[in-house]
């Protein structure tokens, strides 16, 4: 399966962000008595009864119908919505690039069984940052924190991927030649490989994003990082079960081949390597 689609990841992230029901301004509280009267008198009647944007599609709630609060709600919803669209698009583009370049090599093959091997692919951070939002200094900081966390998490996850011993080459059980030529594997999902995906879980990614940002004063960072991490983890679960390991070409000797007495035999001490594009 191709890498996740930007629109899907973005909608997942936005839905998660909305679940926090953040009111804008977040520190505003209704006044009482004389203060309330002063506040109301500062605005015309129409300015005290503006219509807030509905959620969804808004990402924030207006703290009151005051025109300033409603305006801020709409501006913040647009700003964060554009950022989420942009960063999710960059992540999905980088993911697709990784998928087109990653390979699986060093796999050992004996008879029908393939085992071992390592997956290598490009780091995601430069690929994400090439397309990530950078319209303001804060966007740059958010983008870099997200790209760093996802890239480091993915590299850690990638290093754990290996074949646990799977029957990928049924023809190699009794091959009718002294040497088996390059033969593609029986496709299996990525989920069938041995792996440790903890580093790309929602909780691990969120913690890594917060650490990479290193700025506890950045507004709404916890909700933003939670939303991006949750969307990434959800997309990863689907990708893991639907993306197939293909075109893992194996070859090797058949030492017991000795016709006419022994016209077939198992491959022993063979090896397999995947060309780029095998994660399909």
Residue 215 included in any domain: yes
173 phi/psi in degrees, rounded to 5? -70, -35
Using an 8 Å Cβ cutoff, are 169 and 185 in contact?
yes
Determine the Cα–Cα distance for residues 205 and 56; give it in Å rounded to an integer.
Answer: 26
Q: How many domains does the chain have?
A: 1
Residue 279 included in any domain: no
Residue 1 included in any domain: no
> pLDDT tier at 186 (50, 70, 90 boundaries)?
very high
Average pLDDT over residues 80-90: 98
Q: Which residues span the domain enclosing 149? A: 6-274
Distance, C-alpha 122 to centroid of its chain:
15
Q: The tokens 């959800």 sit on which residue?
A: 234
C-alpha distances in angstroms, 18 versus 28, 42, 223, 224? 19, 31, 9, 10
Residue 219 included in any domain: yes
96 phi/psi in degrees, rounded to 5? -65, -40
Q: The tokens 């194996």 sit on which residue?
A: 250
Using DSSP, state whether 179 is helix, strand or coil.
strand
For residue 172, count other CB atoms closer than 10 A to its CB: 25
Residue 238 included in any domain: yes
Q: What is the pLDDT of residues 151-163, one digit of tens each?
A: 999 999 999 999 9
What is the pTM for the complete model shown?
0.92
Residue 233 included in any domain: yes
Residue 17 included in any domain: yes
Average pLDDT over residues 210-218: 96
Residue 64 included in any domain: yes
What is the reported pLDDT for 25?
Answer: 84
Q: What is the pLDDT of residues 34-60, one digit of tens each?
A: 555 555 655 565 556 788 999 999 999
């Amino acid at each position: 399966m191709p890498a996740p689609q930007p629109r899907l990841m973005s909608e997942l992230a936005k839905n998660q962000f909305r679940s926090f029901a953040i009111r804008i301004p977040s520190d505003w509280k209704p006044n009482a008595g004389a203060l309330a009267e002063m506040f109301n008198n500062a605005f015309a009647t129409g300015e005290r009864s503006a219509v807030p944007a509905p959620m969804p599609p808004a990402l924030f709630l207006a703290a009151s119908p005051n025109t300033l609060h409603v305006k801020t709600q709409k501006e913040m919803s647009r700003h964060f919505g554009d950022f989420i669209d942009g960063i999710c698009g960059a992540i999905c583009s980088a993911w697709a690039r990784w998928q087109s370049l990653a390979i699986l090599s060093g796999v050992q093959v004996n008879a029908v069984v393939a085992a071992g091997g390592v997956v290598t692919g490009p780091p995601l951070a430069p690929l994400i940052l090439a397309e990530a939002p950078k319209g303001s200094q804060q966007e740059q900081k958010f983008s870099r924190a997200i790209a760093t966390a996802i890239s480091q998490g993915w590299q850690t996850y990638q290093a754990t991927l290996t074949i646990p011993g799977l029957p990928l080459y049924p023809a190699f059980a009794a091959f009718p030649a002294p040497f088996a030529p390059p033969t593609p594997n029986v496709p299996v999902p990525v989920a069938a490989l041995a792996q440790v995906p903890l580093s790309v879980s929602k909780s691990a990614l969120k913690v890594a994003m917060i650490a990479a940002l290193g700025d506890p004063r950045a507004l709404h960072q916890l909700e933003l990082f939670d939303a991006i991490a949750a969307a990434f983890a959800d997309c990863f679960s689907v990708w893991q079960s639907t993306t197939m390991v293909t075109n893992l070409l194996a070859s090797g000797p058949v030492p017991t081949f000795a016709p006419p007495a022994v016209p077939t035999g198992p491959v022993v001490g063979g090896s397999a390597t995947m060309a780029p594009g095998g994660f399909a």
